[in-house]
Chain A
Amino acid sequence: MWATNLKILGVVLGTLALYTLIANKIPQVQSEVPHALTLGADVTPEQLVQAGEQVFTGIGGCTTCHGLGTRAPNLLTDEKGQGPIGARCGKRESGKDCKAYLYESLTQPRAFVVQGYEPIMPDMGRTLSPQQIWAVIAYLESQGGTVDVSGADIPAAAGPTPGAGPGNAGAGGLAGGSTDPMAIIHAAGCIGCHKIGAEGAAIGPDLTHVGGRLNAAGIREAILLPDAKVTKGFEKFAGIMPKTFGQQLSANQFEALVAFLAAHK
């Protein structure tokens, strides 16, 4: 019986050793804890690109989709003769230079979706710090283009929140602090997902008659805690809407927006 026991032990240990060996032979990737990236005003383009590459291939998880070519455009290789992303980013959206386009793609990914792809990209402003986002932009610009991100673009640690971007981050909130509801809606990128009148996309619920479905309190909650109650039929898009508008909008803007939407019955 001892011989049988030894054989059983051999089979068990051999099987365990085989699996352990195989798991150690494949590429080893550890999921690191994101560290705050400290980039001062005097940061050089080279430092930004280097930091951006680490985020892009590491904690950003960008290569998961941008590299396959099936889920999302490959950013590091040529696409339809337009070159890598740094070369083509300025031509994607009319009226947007490379830097603005990349910033929008990272923080409001549904504002413009490249034809032929699904709107699956999450808002990176929820997971990356502003420094990390700007570093990624610099890295992407370096792929066939010119790096024009500088220390001036990067907000200080206590500065604007991740969602605040170039051209729309004022001291009083989005859209330069304007209380014009449509200006806020455009600046916040609401129409990237929601339809209002003739404008917008159908990823989120149509807001044209939102006042008929929700009262002012309900609209407030839907903006501040977008996933607390998910509209029927849109469950699969739960989690997409940023939860940062409470920080991005000033109190006046927020109430102006709520009143505007509540009046659309």
Chain B
Amino acid sequence: MIDAVHFLQAATDSIPAYRDFPLIGSRAAVWIAAEIHLMFAAFVLGVPMFAVVAEAIGIFGKDQRYDRLAKEFTRLLLIAYSATAIWGAVLVFLLATLYSKLWAYLTTIFGVSMWVYVSIFFFESFTLYLYYYGWDRWKYGRAKWGHWGLGILLNLWGTLVMFIADSWLTYMMTPPRDITPDTAPGSIKLWHAMMNHTWMPINIHRLIGNVVFGGAIVGAYASYRFLAAKTDEERAHYDWMGYVGNFIAISALIVLPFAGYWLGREIYQYDQSMGITMMGGFMSWLWVIQAFLIAVLFLTGNYYLWVGMGRIPGAERFRPYTKWLLVVLVLGAIVWGTPHTMIADSRELAAMGGSHHPFLGALGVMSAKNTAVNLMILTTFLSFLLYRRANTRPVVPWARTGTMIQGGMFGIAAAIVLFFGIRGYFVEAIVRIGYSVYQVGAVLSCIVFVTIIDVMMGRGAQSLGAIQWGKMPPRSQYALFILAVTFTWLMGLMGFARSGIRQHWHVWQVLQDTTKYAATPALGQAAIMISVCVLIFLSLVGFIFWLGGLAEKSTFVPAGPAAPTGKEGGHVGH
């Protein structure tokens, strides 16, 4: 018996630090599992946020459309939850079997938090079941408030789960400074490890990012259902749903860079060399790709709005302006996409007179890029404003003055952005960085005050006709697909940036990766991996959409002429 115990102990002691995975290798296997798990997780954390907001609008505004929208969002969650859990399990098993040493290290520090994580996930799942399956049972009166409370609780559980998981990965990026390779993992206090430099910035960045991502995927779902719709009623509903999804995604996207800026600053403060690797080192070209992707998002999001104006009576008066908006967006995208640092060998660097291109270099600096992106945000906001006002004519006596004030606010904001953009070329870097705050402040102030004026001006406005929901050309729906694919790909790219800056370290400067996969791949290889992950994710999401369609059919059948009308079946768009 003792021999057997010794044998087992010897076997345990001889467990290798690493194992390889057939065909694709251990790194690719973990990469795929982690990435797809994360994409599903972002979806199941983002969607409840606006499901609960949509339900609230339905309750307070007494508008059943929003209640139905919230329920439809939640139905998508049920299957996505299972997929999230499955991929999470795959990730854990792969980590435990392929990266045994790292897994043992992390579980020694974070073991307790992992138990808490599982418990909360359990509560979260059952809250979701209650939330969805109790929808029709707790539909009216005080029961409805209780149901809405379940939605809030669902979000609370989800946020806690994400915060806990974020602490593990941020510890790997930025372990507290007093932890060295010689520090015994058992001696590291859990809270100390969790409260690392990038934990809270990542939490906030992911919270907002999840809303963006959830909005984009819901938009894609709506566009799929729109294209598959057989009745005008269905088309109207999914056209509206697609608009809401796109609105949520683009609105949250505008805020996301500020959370990203905070995260970047924390990385620099933690370790300058890590920050430099991220922004100016081997990853510098990643930001050019990111700029291209965000330009696609802005252009496609605006295009969707402009096409959508075709179904709004009165929108034709704004159509001539769209070409100028397009010009600003394209110019902004070109400037934002200009590389800051050219990767070149020493001879090329010497010939160029530095890493900057002699001509394009002036556009590749932060002054130009900040100016470009702020003007792009202003332009997108203007598109939203035109869309919003398309079928109304203000009747308040001060309408003309109000419109002029709004125009003036746009002009002043653009002037401030341009002024500090140009001035940034003539001051030191430390001063220039501060200018971005003034630029962002001007844009956000413009957005807030113009919106307030617009809401006040819209009171009792004359209607030029109802929005013809459902009368959208199919190309607009493909634009929503491009948005969803781009958001997903962008998420994969940013995940690579976050994880890749650890380079050959599992835990930065504490636990080294000694596998043959330790070198961080170039962008080309990373892009292939990202595309594979996105394709697997979207294929699974497509399957979930299809399942959602199977379940939804019963809702729409009653709306047909041969069937009795149900409570929800009678809904028609706007």
Contacts and interface: CB of A to CB of B under 8 A. Distances in A.
B481 A67 contact: no
B272 A19 contact: no
B271 A57 contact: no
B8 interface: no
Contacts of A122: 272-273, 276
A210 to B, nearest CB: 20
A67 B350 CA distance: 9
A206 to B, nearest CB: 21
A103 B103 CA distance: 40
Contacts of A70: 356, 365, 429
Give the size category of A's interface with B. Answer: 35 or more
B531 A16 contact: yes
Contact of A238 (B177, B276, B485, B538): B177
Nearest to A237: B269
Contact of B520 (A31, A228, A238): A31
B139 to A, nearest CB: 33
B535 interface: yes
Task: Tell me if B's interface is mostly helix, strand, loop or mixed.
Answer: helix
A29 B282 contact: yes
Given A31-B282, A63-B349, A12 B272 contact: no
A74 B354 contact: yes
A11 B478 CA distance: 7
Interface string B260-271: 000000000111
A7 B224 CA distance: 11
A198 interface: no
Given A29-B343, A239-B177, A15 B485 contact: yes
A28 B527 CA distance: 11
Contacts of A71: 280, 429
A245 to B, nearest CB: 14
Nearest to B513: A33
Contacts of B527: 19-20, 22-24
Contact of B276 (A12, A33, A65, A67): A65
Interface stretch (B44-52, B58-66, B240-248, B288-296): B288-296
Interface in A61-77: 61, 63-65, 67-71, 74, 76-77
B524 A8 contact: no
B210 to A, nearest CB: 21
A72 B164 CA distance: 40
Given A12-B538, A22-B289, A64-B276, A30 B282 contact: yes
| Most interface-central of A8, A74, A120 (chain B CB within 10 A) | A8
B491 to A, nearest CB: 12
Contacts of B288: 26
Contacts of B430: 118
Interface string A88-130: 0000000000000000000000000000001010100011000
A42 interface: no
B521 A8 contact: no
Contacts of A8: 224, 227, 478, 481
Contacts of B521: 30
Interface in B433-474: 474
Contact of A11 (B280, B281, B482): B482
Task: Tell me if A's interface is mostly helix, strand, loop or mixed.
Answer: loop
B156 interface: no
A240 interface: yes
A30 B178 contact: no
Contacts of B344: 63
Contacts of B224: 8
Contact of A19 (B276, B280, B356, B531): B531
A240 B272 CA distance: 8
A232 interface: no
A46 interface: no
A27 interface: yes
B346 A76 contact: yes
Interface in B489-506: 489, 500, 503-504
Nearest to A7: B478
A236 B271 CA distance: 10
Contact of A76 (B292, B349, B524): B349
Contacts of B289: 19, 22-23, 26
| Most interface-central of A23, A56, A64, A76 (chain B CB within 10 A) | A23
Interface in A212-251: 225, 227-228, 235-236, 238-240
B523 interface: yes
Contacts of A12: 481, 485, 535, 538
B228 A1 contact: yes
B500 A31 contact: yes
A69 B356 contact: yes
A213 to B, nearest CB: 19
Given A64-B341, A225-B178, A4 B349 contact: no
Interface in B283-304: 284-285, 288-289, 292-293
B518 A33 contact: yes
A235 B527 CA distance: 36
A32 interface: yes
Contacts of B428: 118
Contacts of A127: 273
A74 B273 CA distance: 18
Given A15-B485, A31-B282, A57-B346, A239 B271 contact: yes
Contact of B355 (A34, A68, A126, A240): A68
16 contacts: A8-B481, A13-B535, A15-B481, A16-B531, A20-B528, A23-B289, A23-B524, A26-B289, A30-B282, A30-B519, A32-B519, A57-B345, A63-B341, A63-B349, A122-B272, A225-B177
Interface of B: 177-178, 224, 227-228, 269-273, 276-277, 280-282, 284-285, 288-289, 292-293, 341, 343-346, 349-350, 353-356, 365, 428-430, 474, 478, 481-482, 485-486, 489, 500, 503-504, 513, 518-528, 530-531, 534-535, 538
Given A20-B528, A77-B349, A227-B177, 14 more contacts: A1-B228, A8-B478, A15-B481, A27-B343, A31-B281, A31-B520, A33-B513, A61-B280, A64-B280, A69-B356, A74-B353, A76-B350, A225-B177, A240-B272
